[in-house]
Amino acid sequence: MLNKKQIRYCLDVMAEMFPDAKGELIHSNPFELVIAVLLSAQCTDKLVNKVTAHLFLKYKEPEDYLAVSLEELQQDIRSIGLYRTKAKNIQKLCKVLIDEYNGEVPRTKEELMTLAGVGRKTANVVASIAFGEPAIAVDTHVERVSKRLGICRWKDSVIEVEETLMRKVPREEWSVTHHRIIFFGRYHCKARNPNCLECPLLELCREGKKRVKNV
């Protein structure tokens, strides 16, 4: 496991590698962000952006999603994985926004997690990007990189990874660290072919050392 000084070094290196890391889902307001993040489960941001480019022209408010049939909404997001379930959740989410929040997206993670299709990761992303609340959302990239580097344990659950990162990363750096780790995992420390030989963190990385040794 990495110590505090080593973790600081990792964060600084990622900051140098990806100084402009930020969320890649295109949106113009918190409501669009909620829809985009919900659609992004088990799906690439690139595909979601392709779908929402048309979706957000047709649907502007929660009421718009309820004004069409479930079947029509499903057709509009058909190219996205799990589109049937996601369409149902979007309509349920919109109904709750109208009935309980005056059509506005709630600002707290706790309230966000009461919405259909919104889990801990989605709530953290929305709270962080839309409302500037410090948060570390643990997606597949954050979990993989944290475990490979030895910031977290291999056996840690997603919640344990989040709690460990929140303890080990300064609060004011939570949101930007989330984005930088995602970029590091998406473009460098990939799931199948991590770029270990050219990685500036190789000397600290337990997984990287194993992989290089076996090359």
Please, which residues have CB within 8 angstroms of residue 124's CB and are 6 or more apart in sequence? 109, 135, 136, 137, 138, 162, 178
- CB-based contact 87:3 (threshold 8 Å): no
Determine if residue 10 is labeled as part of a ligand binding site.
Answer: no
DSSP at 61: S
The catalytic residues are 121, 139
Half-sphere exposure of 99 (CA within 13 A, CB side): 8
Q: Is 94 annotated as a binding residue?
A: no
Cβ partners under 8 Å of residue 120, min gap 6: 109, 113, 137, 138, 158, 159, 162
- Rounded Cα gap, residues 115 and 135, in angstroms: 18
Distance in angstroms (rounded) separating the CA atoms of residues 165 and 55 = 35
Give the residue ranges of the annotated binding site. 189, 196, 199, 205
Give the residue ranges of the annotated binding site for [4Fe-4S] cluster. 189, 196, 199, 205
